[in-house]
A = this chain, B = another copy of it.
């Protein structure tokens, strides 16, 4: 009999998640029913949104129920199948949860072409983060050729793809990242026109130097002081797709920034929140575009793969909120 190991939510975290907010439960792996298959998970995706999923209160999806397996994207291979379209050995990605084995009926599951990209890329640049970048930039941000696009968390799973797509669309692209190593990666490897180190001192001046014509699109992953600084440099009729506000997710106090809201009025900005799930009907379009660019060598992804098993899940997740990861963060099982 196959043993499963699961990470279950034990209580709602306060501030950063702690190991004892979760319990590791060993239990028999479930068997697939008719029309279902079982996946043996190899990589679990760590995403900023996870902090919201375990918080109480109204959000864009129901919070994870206390006692349930932690929600999470994951990639693996089909192990046992009673589904006509999935066979043992098939590489798949989906919302399988933070555990060793998951049961699926195939809905919302993507096939991972490991000839095109390694399995873990299918929960990264080719998965939700890549699709988030695609729809958030193109549909919400609507960049035009020659415009200046600024992306925060630029070396991260979403930001790195946003910037590369914006370059492909003929924009001047400026990243914001933490530390010289990440900034060098963003310009030298990903091909951004410039990258500003938010830990490097005067962000406002550095941004002004990097964006001499102002900012037309700001792809927001961070919030807080960075948003405030960018707001003051937005051009008229600029767009701010709000993808994430990671600087605030672990706060126990509500954030006080931004102070520069007047820029929304004076410059007629459009500030618009979005969630990738809203674009679910157009996932195939994004997947095809991203795979196409990857095949042509126009898109690069960087995975930050961590070991340590499911026990390490809370600690690895916290790396996201402290800037401790470098690239798309995944846990290898």
Give the B-binding residues of A (Cβ under 8 A): 52, 58-60, 223, 236, 242-245, 248, 254-262, 264-275, 278
Q: How far is the CB of A272 from chain B (nearest CB, A)?
A: 5
Q: How far is the CB of A318 from chain B (nearest CB, A)?
A: 20
Instruction: Report copies per complex.
Output: 2
> Which chain B residues border A268 with CB–CB below 8 Å?
60, 272-275, 278
Nearest-CB residue, chain B, relative to A220: B265
Smallest CB-CB A-B distances: 7 pairs: A254-B259, A265-B273, A271-B271, A264-B273, A256-B256, A268-B273, A270-B272
Given contacts A254-B259, A270-B270, A272-B271, contact A265 B244 (CB under 8 A): yes
> Which chain B residues border A272 with CB–CB below 8 Å?
264, 268-272
Nearest-CB residue, chain B, relative to A236: B60
Q: A-side binding surface: helix, strand, loop or mixed?
A: loop
Nearest-CB residue, chain B, relative to A240: B271
Given contacts A270-B270, A270-B272, A272-B271, contact A242 B265 (CB under 8 A): yes
- How far is A255 from B262 in the complex, measured between Cα atoms in Å? 10
Nearest-CB residue, chain B, relative to A238: B273
- How far is A93 from B39 in the complex, measured between Cα atoms in Å? 72
> Which chain B residues border A275 with CB–CB below 8 Å?
265, 268
> Which chain B residues border A52 with CB–CB below 8 Å?
266
Given contacts A254-B259, A254-B260, contact A273 B278 (CB under 8 A): no
- How far is A254 from B262 in the complex, measured between Cα atoms in Å? 10
Nearest-CB residue, chain B, relative to A60: B266
Q: How far is the CB of A243 from chain B (nearest CB, A)?
A: 8
| 22 A-B pairs whose Cβ atoms sit less than 8 Å apart in the complex | A58-B266, A59-B266, A60-B266, A223-B261, A242-B264, A242-B265, A243-B265, A244-B265, A245-B261, A248-B261, A248-B262, A256-B259, A258-B261, A264-B272, A264-B273, A265-B275, A266-B273, A267-B273, A268-B272, A270-B272, A271-B272, A272-B272
> Which chain B residues border A256 with CB–CB below 8 Å?
256-257, 259
> Which chain B residues border A244 with CB–CB below 8 Å?
265
> Which chain B residues border A273 with CB–CB below 8 Å?
264-270
